[in-house]
A = this chain, B = another copy of it.
């Protein structure tokens, strides 16, 4: 699979809210996941746990996904996530992009960047 096919596959699954399936299908075992504040999680198991934690703490009302925007070994996806944070009941639309780096058939790095920071 090339960058464009991996990007489109990830976008298609994310549009259906299937974030865990997207990780299982496309993430390398050694995936490095970086948040906007620079904090990193390393490895597929830890990354899946981070995803499960996010799901447990948010009620999802709507997901908009745009992209992929593709280059040689990277693609970008834009997410608008309409969610209520269960911790405080606050409803927000998280507007963010993910930058994904591909090596071979797998995503080896994802970096999330946020609007309004």
Contact = CB atoms under 8 A, between A and B. Distances in A.
Interface in A66-117: 66-72, 74-76, 78, 95-97, 99, 111-115, 117
Contacts of A38: 71-72
Given A76-B76, A76-B97, A97-B76, A36 B71 contact: yes
Contacts of A68: 115
Contacts of A115: 66-70
Given A76-B76, A97-B76, A99-B99, A112 B36 contact: no
Given A36-B72, A76-B76, 7 more contacts: A69-B78, A69-B96, A74-B99, A76-B97, A78-B78, A78-B97, A99-B99
